[in-house]
Amino acid sequence: MQTEHLKVINEVGLHARPAAFFVNAASSFQASVLIRNATTSSDWMDGKSILGVLVLGVEKGHEIDLQIEGPDEVEAKQALSALILSDFAAPPRGSSAAEMDRPRSRSEGGAKQGDSGGR
């Protein structure tokens, strides 16, 4: 098992886009990733779950703990630590910033502009 204690320096903490980057990066590894807000002594949450990460309420300046366990735990720890310490400057492994921002087609689960998704 790999553990890490980090300070979040991003302006919005681990909310919205940074949380999505983190979850996307964590999900690219086989290892399990647990995360908690050390500042608030929160419960451990699944680092591969966007809702789990958002519920932690990590704000700028908060400290987080990671527990990573699995066959690629060393690589996962390095990548996730680098992502947080770089202020989310680099896109997660296996994707690009452009890919995260591009509109998705209906076949990918996205809606067309002005489309309410059939509601």
Q: Verify whether residue 15 is a known catalytic residue.
A: yes
Say if CB 7 and CB 63 are below 8 A apart: yes
Among residues 15, 32, 91, 93, the one annotated as catalytic is: 15
The set of catalytic residues is 15
